[in-house]
Amino acid sequence: MKYLLVCDLDDTLTGDKDGIEVFNKLVLSEKGEFYLVYSSGRFKDSMIFLIMPKV
C-alpha cells in the first residue's frame, strides 16, 4: 500500500524534535511506500532552508 502525507512544516514537522526522529525512522523503514508533500504559506526558498539537513 502507498501512503501520501500532506503536512504543514511549521510546528507540525518542526515542533517536536523527538517526534520527528521517530517519524523519520518509520518513513525510512518503508521507503517507496510514503510520499511526503509539504503544504506551507512560506516562500519556496524558506521551505528548502527549513527542510535541508543542518551540518
The per-residue pLDDT string of the chain (55 residues; one tens digit each, 9 = 90 and over) reads 888 989 888 777 777 888 888 888 888 888 888 888 888 899 999 988 888 877 6
pTM above threshold 0.85: no
Q: Alpha helices of the chain — where are they, by DSSP H?
A: 17-29, 44-51
| Helix (H/G/I), strand (E/B), else coil: 33 | coil
pLDDT, residue 17, reads: 81
Domains of the chain by residue range: 3-51
Place of cell 521517530: 22
Between CA 55 and CA 52 the distance in angstroms is 9
